[in-house]
Amino acid sequence: MVNPYFDSADCRLFLAWAPSESFVWHRDKEDRKITVLSGDGWCFQFEDCLPFVLKRGSKFTINAYEYHRLIKGKNDLLVRITRTNK
C-alpha cells in the first residue's frame, strides 16, 4: 500500500494522487489537535458519524484511540498536527 502522506515538523501533507484505499479507518495512541492549512474537497469522518468537509482554518480534536478516517479530496491536503497528552 502507498503511504498517502509526508510529515515535516508539525505538518502533514496528504497526497491527492494516492489511491483511495490508502485512507483507511484507524486510531492513534495520542490526542491530536488538527488545523487545516490548505486543500479542497477533503472530508473527515469519526466512527458512527457523518463525514464533514475540511476547510482552510478548520480546527478539531481527535481523541486517543478514536476511530477515524480521511476521505480524499481534489488536491493535496496540508494540516498542522499538535499532539497532546491528557
**Is pLDDT above 80 for 85?**
no
Q: How many independent structural domains does the chain possess?
A: 1
CATH of the domain at 40: 2.60.120.10
**Is pLDDT above 60 for 86?**
no
Q: Which domain holds residue 48?
A: 5-84
For residues 80-85, give the mean pLDDT: 89
**Is pLDDT above 90 for 36?**
yes
Sequence-ordered alpha helix ranges (H) in 1-86: none
Q: What is the rounded distance in angstroms from the CA atom of residue 34 to the CA atom of residue 65?
A: 15
CB within 8 A of 35, min separation 6: which ones? Answer: 57, 58, 59, 79, 80, 82
CA of residue 77 relative to chain centroid, distance: 8
